[in-house]
Amino acid sequence: MEELVLYRTYAEDDIVARAVAALEKGGIIIYPTDTVYALGADATNPAAVEAVFALKGRPRDQPLSVLVGGFAMLKRWALVSPKQKAHIDEQLPAARTFILKPKKAMLVSHGNVGFRLPDHWCTRIAETLGRPVTATSANVHAQQNPVSITELRRIFGKRVSLYIDAGKLSKLPSQIVDLTVEPPRLLRE
């Protein structure tokens, strides 16, 4: 059953608790980020990750990015050299996804993983869950990003457990910076 939560109507703690409860049950959420709406699932739950790939119609060889709840969580999941950390520190709080080598294989990718650490309350979802959350844009693969929950509900309907409506988000997706190469390379502007 889908649930709609209006960001300005509920306390942030309540929204985070509802999101985490849905994720812990293996559900999919759509949540706002600092850029666009994202499709979220517990990135450690195989069925939930597969559901995100299926919802998007995304080929399995194109990885999903993940949201982490801060730098401490990033260090638990990714190998981050001092040079890479300095680069991340330099880039934040801009809207960036950083490609890094995971410490161990992750369900969202067959190799390196894109990690998001936005300057936005959505990081509290991953922090409270205690695990990364998928952070792929909430759209059908290769189509434009819907800017409102009304559009997203029309596309995904009851296949999403929780929609967090923060109004119209018309920003572009984050830039992607590959930190696994030297010098770091911008993959998406």
Residues 172 and 183: their CA atoms lie apart, in Å, by 25
Query: Please, are residues 41 and 50 in contact by the beta-carbon 8 Å criterion?
Result: no
Reading the block at residue 54, the tokens are 């299926």
User: At which residue do the structure tokens 């995304």 appear?
Assistant: 58
Query: Which of the four CATH numbers 3.40.50.12280, 3.90.870.10, 3.30.70.1150, 3.60.21.10 does domain 3-188 have?
Result: 3.90.870.10
Find, among 139, 148, 144, the residue nearest to 167 by Cα.
148
The pLDDT value recorded for residue 122 is 97
Find, among 142, 94, 133, the residue nearest to 114 by Cα.
133
User: Could you list the pLDDT tens digit for every one of the 189 residues in the chain?
Assistant: 678 888 878 899 999 999 999 999 999 999 999 999 999 999 999 999 999 999 999 999 999 999 999 999 999 999 999 999 999 999 988 899 999 999 999 999 999 999 999 999 999 999 999 999 999 999 999 899 999 999 999 999 999 999 999 999 977 889 999 999 999 999 887
